[in-house]
Amino acid sequence: MESPHGILLVAFIATFAVIHLSQAEDQEGFISVDCGLPPSEASPYIEPDTGLWFSSDSDFIQTGKIGKIDPSLRKTIKTYVTLRYFPDGIRNCYNLSVKQGTNYLIRVTALYGNYDGLNITPKFDLYVGPNFWVTIDLENMISGQTEEIIYIPRSNSLDLCLVKTGATTPMISSLELRPLPNNIYITESGSLKRFKRYYLTSSNAILSYPDDVNDRVWEPKFDPEWKHISTTLEANNSNGFLVPHDVLKTAAIPANATARFKITKELDFPDDEIYLYLHFSEVQSLQINESREFDIFWNGQPFDNTVSPKYLKTTTIKSTTPVTCKGGVCNLELIRTTNSTLPPLLNAIEIYSSVKFHQLETNENDVFAIRKIKARYGLNRITWQGDPCVPQKFLWDSLNCNSTDTSRQPRITYLNLTSSGLKGTIAAAIQNLTDLEKLDLSNNNLTGEIPGFLANMNSLMLINLSKNNLIGFIPQALLDRESEGLTLFVDGKHRCLSGSCVTEKKFPVKTAAFVSSATVMVIIVVLVLIFVVKKKTSSNSEVLPPSSIKPSVNVTSNNISEISIKMKRKKFTHSEVMEMTKDLERPLGEGGFGIVYHGVINGSQQVAIKILSQSSTQGYKEFKAEVRNCSYSNMFKQMCFMYSFILVQVELLLRVHHINLVSLVGYCDEREHLALIYEYMSNGDLKDHLSGKHGSSVLKWNTRLQIAIDAALGLEYLHIGCRPSMVHRDVKSTNILLDEGFTAKLADFGLSRSFQFGDEDHASTAVAGTPGYLDPEYYRTGRLAEMSDVYSFGIVLLEIITNQRVLDQTREKIHIAEWTAFMLNRGDINGIMDPNLHGDYNSHSAWRALELAMLCANSSSEKRPNMFQVVIELKECLASEISMKSNDQDMDSQSSPEVSMSCDTKDVPSAR
């Protein structure tokens, strides 16, 4: 026989289980998050006042830090102890799983509680998905600020984002979601932001869950001009709104039975559109000769039909269309009719302002795909939170989207994960980005084969998979796409990416013998040609660079000696140089090589003439380098030998020529007189324009971006367009010159080096360059590569963005890259950008350019992008800036009555 204690224990456990199950059913769909609560500290737990289950927010967000309110305040503020604050980044987002199409009440509470000891209350914005919801301003809010909105998610995922808007740090104490019936709180469009929710009583009790099964918070309200009436009986509240019974047990009537019942409220924003919900239930059992009947007026206008509340039954009168309040002052009046013996009655009132969210979320499939890619590669980037595409000012870095049309869901069109440390195979989720046009996965550690699904992505026009460890064959379907306009970058030029897929082929003996003979003949011809060229060169007393000659090959002749060599680059005498410069009348500047003078050729062509300083120990060496490197490419592009004759095709690139490289017009090499003659760049160098040396107007942001693109294109040509590749080695703002149209061109090739080492992409050289711009890895190892120029370009880009000196002993961080990293930790781009711009830039394009600059200036060359990638990113950046400015102008024109009357306009998103 069981003991009485055992029976009692079983009964207690059964009772607790029934209560717990009942509560769990009531809370179905509830999301209750205690922000900042460590998951190890009793999570989830039951909140004692409501009986609701609260859990840690650690499963809903990956950023932010945990804070606790000042212990001395906990005696007066009992609701929250922990919080989460966000010192890093601009936008930090919670991501919650919801049911698409369900009406949710979303409630956010922020209680500062002097958690950081600074006693500086924060101010920041809240966003629901890509749309602004409300500003949190905790000044004079000792007990915190709570905001509610009734919102219907368009997908099964909901982002709630805290956005930094000033110097203070966003923070949050709790986040709650409560599903509501879909047949209540219906609007013409938009969502409902709570303004007030009152029940009329002389009590001080605030009602919420479990009194309200939907966990709406009802605050008590009572005026001296009112009289309190109540009942102990429960009314029938089954009209859909499920107003709590305790709300319906109490009501207010005018203290003067003949007076009107009035409620007056002032809106926070006078132009808000209002939705009104009035709840009535008769609490008095009326006699046969008694009646209660009244009309409702809103701002002096009839609101609804005559109301006669039913005893212990709920009647809700609501807005079917939004109403407004003149001057932001709302007046509600209940006026008894002539048939009524009793004054008007009101139990409760809810007032909401209408919030219209115009910006659609990014396509749900794209969001799901990019988040799978993020998880697959562990890309924990602080900017990769919230909606990937919108608003545009928070566009995820390394992405671009077609988000200018607010009537359509944005789609991801560009994914750039170069130098992101990706490992493993190419993620299958990429194929779900069905509108993707450009994909860059270069310079990572990806393995495995190239997946065939890339060929099926019809929108793709560029794929860069170079500098990875991929193996196997390139899918034939992908190669076929190249004829349709697809640009494909892979390691190697053949269908096979590695030796693993090379099949052994047997060559006939005759073919092998012929190939061997042809090889020997190639070597002989090359040696003979080199001997002829050297002999021709040595017979001339002047110094001719290799690129100053061009062979003219007569393919019908087998006699190599018949190749004619003719001069291409003009050599000038010292007297001609003096005549051009009018005896060195107008100096333009001075560098390590010597002084640069203005000159004129043939009375019309302006040139810049760099004359070697007699005191320059490296001048002659640098002079030779400029002439050689500005014009040299590989001597032989193709040599073909057939069975009975030899066909020799020799192509010499007469000079490096690109619109973004300063052209070498000629040179002077006359004993001790050495000079280089360049095209004239009338607007001087970039450094002078940034510093305002010429007193000219400040370079605008889009002009700066275009200058950066021009310089990047010049470097891209040196690195990729030249064969062998060329490294500039002295990229800096004083070596970026501007012509009359502010087209930028790279100058000063005195330190440039060309090299070609088969599979190697670097060379060991004596370290040279300019302090501050010099690649630290190159300085440390002496191993020169194109990435050394990328580092220097990153420093130039930082100059363009910040207008800071590269090295400044007066700064807290001397080097510009270190200073920028230091400032970035504060998250305020205004403190980084050149103040001369006066904020005239789109912060999204500014952030994007800044991130690119810091990536280029990374101390590790493996993490830097190549110049091809830099050019793409800068062009996207400029396109974004131009698009934003265009959108701003469109919005301005829409807001102007004069323009809107004469021009057709369309909705566009606002720009940051």
Asked, as a colleague might, if the bond just before 551 is cis with ω within 30 of 0, I would say no
Query: By C-alpha distance, which of 350, 357, 392 is closest to 133?
Result: 357
Structure tokens at 449: 């084969």
Question: What length is written for the chain?
Answer: 912
Would the CA dihedral through 111, 115, 118, 124 be positive or negative? Answer: negative
Q: Cα–Cα–Cα angle for 743, 875, 717, nearest 5°?
A: 60
How big is the chain by its Cα radius of gyration, in Å? 38
Those residues with Cβ within 8 angstroms of residue 483's Cβ, 6 or more apart along the chain or in another chain: none
610 is in an annotated binding site: yes
Consecutive H or E run containing 531: helix 509-538
Q: Does residue 387 have an active-site annotation? A: no
User: For the chain, what percentages of helix, strand and coil (3-state, to nearest 5) are there?
Assistant: 25, 25, 45
Instruction: Please report, for residues 16, 28, 207, the alpha-carbon distance to residue 24 in angstroms, rounded to integers and kept in the order given.
Output: 12, 6, 20
Phi then psi for residue 246, to 5 deg, are -65, -25
Could you say which of 57, 212, 710, 730 is catalytic? 730
Question: What is the C-alpha separation between 498 and 651, in angstroms, rounded?
Answer: 31
Q: Mention every residue, 6+ apart, whose C-beta is less than 8 A from residue 514.
A: 643
The single-letter code of the amino acid at 217 is V
* Phi, psi values for residue 245, rounded to 5°: -60, -40
Distance set, CA 495 to CA 475, 498, 834 (Å): 8, 9, 48
CA distance 814 to 893: 45
Q: How far apart are the first and last CA of the chain?
A: 77
Relative to beta strand 605-612, strand 594-601 is: antiparallel
Q: Which of 397, 373, 368, 388 is nearest to 446 (CA)?
A: 373
- For the purposes of burial, counting CB atoms within 10 Å of the CB of 580, is it exposed (0-12), middle (13-18) or buried (19 or more)? buried
Question: How far is 151 from 269, CA to CA, in rounded Å?
Answer: 20
Q: Are 845 and 879 in contact (CB under 8 A)?
A: no
Instruction: Name the burial class of residue 574, with classes exposed (0-12), middle (13-18) and buried (19+) by CB atoms within 10 angstroms of its CB.
Output: middle
Specify the DSSP element, H or E, that contains 849.
helix 843-856
List residues bridging with 252 in a β-sheet: 228, 346
**Do 679 and 665 meet the contact criterion of CB atoms below 8 Å apart?**
yes
Are 110 and 67 in contact by the 8 Å Cβ rule? The answer is no
- Give the residue numbers of the binding site for ATP: 610
- Give the residue numbers of the binding site: 610
Q: Which residues are annotated as catalytic?
A: 730
